[in-house]
Chains A and B, each alone.
Chain A
Amino acid sequence: MEEVWILPAIPFAVFVVLGLFGRILPRNGDLLAVLGMAAVVVLVGFVLVDFQDAFVDDFFAPVAGANTYAFDWINIGDGFFLIEFSTYVDAITMVMLPVVSFVALMVLVYSIGYMKGEQRYGWYFAALSLFVSAMLLLVVSGNLLQLYLAWEGVGLASYLLIGFYWERQSAAEAAKKAFITTRIGDVGLLIGIILLWRVTGSFDIQEIIHAAEEGAFGETYLTIAMLFLFAGAAGKSAQFPLHVWLPDAMEGPTPVSALIHAATMVVAGVYLVARMLPVYDEVLIARDVVLYTGLLTAFMAATMGLVATDIKRVLAFSTVSQLGFMFVALGVGALTAAMFHLFTHAFFKSLLFLGSGSVIHATEEQEVGKLGGLRKKMPITTLTFAIGSLALAGIPIFAGFWSKDEILHDLEKYGPLWAYAVLAATAGLTAIYTTRLVLLTFFGEPKDQHAYDHAHESPPVMTVPLILLAALATVAGLFVYQDVGQAFGFVGGIGEVVIAHGEPHVFELDVPFAAGATATALAGIAIGFMYWWGDARRAREARGWAPELHSLLERRYYVDELYQAFINYAVLGLSSVVAWFDKRVVNETGVDGGTQLVGFLGHRLKFLQTGRIPNYALGMALGVAALALVALGTS
Chain B
Amino acid sequence: MVENDAYALLAVFLIPLGTAVLLMLVPSRERSLIIAVTAASSLAMFAVSLYVFLAYDFNGDQFQGVKAWSYMNDIGLLGEEGIQLKVGVDGIAAAMVLLTGIVIVPGTWVSWKIQDRMKDFFILLYILTAGVFGTFVMLDMFLWFLLYETALLPMYLLIAVWGSTRKEYGAMKLMMMLLAGSILIFTAIFAIYTEAGLGSFDLVDLYAVDFDEDFQKLYFPLVAVGCGILAAMFPFHSWSPDGHASAPTAVSMLHAGVLMKLGAFGIIRLGFQMMPEGGEFWAPALIVLGITAALYGAVSALRQDDMKLMTGFSSVSHMGYVMVGLGTMNVIGWTGAVLQMFAHGIMTALFFLLIGAMYDQAHNRDIPNFSGMAKQMPIWTVFFVIAGLASLGLPGMSGFVAEVHIFIGAFRAYPVVGGLAVLTAAITATYLLRMFSQAFFGEFNPRWSELKEITYAERAGATVLAGTILFLGLWPSPWVDRIATTIETTIPGVTL
B389:A156 contact, CB within 8 angstroms: yes
B437–A76 contact, CB under 8 A?
A: no
B contact face: mostly helix, strand, loop, or mixed: helix
CA distance A197 to B332 in the complex (A): 13
Q: Which residues of A contact B460 (CB under 8 A)?
A: none
User: Is B467 on the interface with A (CB-CB < 8 A)?
Assistant: no
B444 CB contacts on chain A under 8 angstroms: 167
Contacts of A561 in B (CB 8 A): none
**8 Å CB contact of A579 from B300, B331, B436, B488:** B300
B60 touches A (CB below 8 Å): no
Question: Which residues of chain B are within 8 angstroms of A215 by Cβ–Cβ distance?
Answer: none
Q: Decide if B408 touches A194 in the complex (CB within 8 Å).
A: yes
**CB-based contact B238/A166 at 8 Å:** no
Question: Does A572 contact B238, Cβ atoms closer than 8 Å?
Answer: no
Is B411 an interface residue, CB under 8 A from the partner? Answer: yes
Residue among A175, A184, A187, A197 facing the most chain B CB atoms (10 A cut-off): A187
B3: min CB distance to chain A, Å: 29
- Is the beta-carbon distance between A81 and B408 smaller than 8 angstroms? yes
A163 to B441, CA, bound (A): 9
B444: nearest chain-A partner, CB-CB: A167
In Å, the complex CA distance between A156 and B400 comes to 14
A590-B443 contact, Cβ under 8 Å, with A77-B484, A173-B437? no
Is B217 in contact with chain A by the CB < 8 A criterion?
A: no
Q: Which of B302, B425, B476 contacts A74 (CB 8 A)?
A: B476
Question: CB within 8 A of A72: which of B426, B437, B477?
Answer: B477
A175–B418 CB distance below 8 A: no
Q: Are B443 and A197 closer than 8 Å at their CB atoms?
A: no
CB-based contact B434/A184 at 8 Å? no
Closest residue of B by beta carbon distance from A146: B395
Residue among B302, B404, B415, B437 with the highest chain A CB neighbour number at 10 A: B437
Q: How far is the CA of A168 from the CA of B371 in the complex (A)?
A: 11
In the bound complex, residues from chain A placing their C-beta under 8 Å from that of B419 are: 191
Question: In the assembled complex, which residues on chain B have CB atoms less than 8 Å from the CB atom of A550?
Answer: none
Contacts of A578 in B (CB 8 A): 296, 299-300, 303
Q: Flag the segment in A93-101, A147-155, A502-510, A604-612 that touches B.
A: A147-155
Name the interface residues of A167-223: CB closer than 8 Å to any CB of B: 167-169, 171-173, 175-176, 179-180, 183-184, 186-187, 190-191, 194-195, 197-198
Interface size, chain A (Cβ < 8 Å): 50
Chain A residues near B407: list those with CB within 8 A: 190, 194
Flag B226-239 by CB within 8 Å of A: 1 or 0 each.
00000000010111
Q: Taking the complex as formed, is A549 at the interface, i.e. its CB lies under 8 A from any CB of chain B?
A: no
Report chain A residues within 8 Å CB of B235.
Answer: 586, 590
Q: B335 contacts which chain A residues (CB < 8 A)?
A: 76
Chain A residues whose CB sits within 8 angstroms of the CB of B197 once the complex forms:
none
Chain B residues in 8 Å Cβ range of A153 = 395-396
Q: Assess the A180–B430 pair: CB atoms within 8 A.
A: yes
Q: Return chain B residues, CB-CB under 8 Å to A77.
A: 331, 484, 488, 496
Please tell me if A486 contacts chain B, counting CB pairs below 8 Å: no
Q: Which of B408-436 contact A (CB under 8 A)?
A: 408, 411-412, 415, 418-419, 422-423, 425-426, 429-430, 433-434, 436
Residue ID in chain B nearest A72 by CB atoms: B477
Q: Please name all residues of chain A whose beta carbon is closer than 8 Å to the beta carbon of B418 when the two chains form the complex.
A: 191, 194
B289 within 8 A of A: no
* A138–B452 alpha-carbon span in the complex (Å): 40
Distance between Cα atoms of A187 and B418 in the complex (Å): 11
Contacts of B446 in A (CB 8 A): none
Decide yes or no: A80 and B304 within 8 Å by CB, A194-B407, A586-B235, A587-B238 being known contacts: no
With a CB–CB cut-off of 8 A, which chain B residues contact A74?
401, 476-477, 480
By a beta-carbon cutoff of 8 Å, the part of chain A in contact with chain B is 72-77, 80-81, 145, 148-149, 152-153, 156, 163, 166-169, 171-173, 175-176, 179-180, 183-184, 186-187, 190-191, 194-195, 197-198, 571-572, 574-576, 578-579, 582, 586-587, 590-592, 595
Task: List the interface of chain B (C-beta within 8 A of A).
Answer: 173, 176-177, 235, 237-239, 242, 296, 299-300, 302-304, 331-332, 335, 372, 374-375, 389, 394-396, 400-401, 404, 407-408, 411-412, 415, 418-419, 422-423, 425-426, 429-430, 433-434, 436-437, 440-444, 476-477, 480, 484, 488, 496
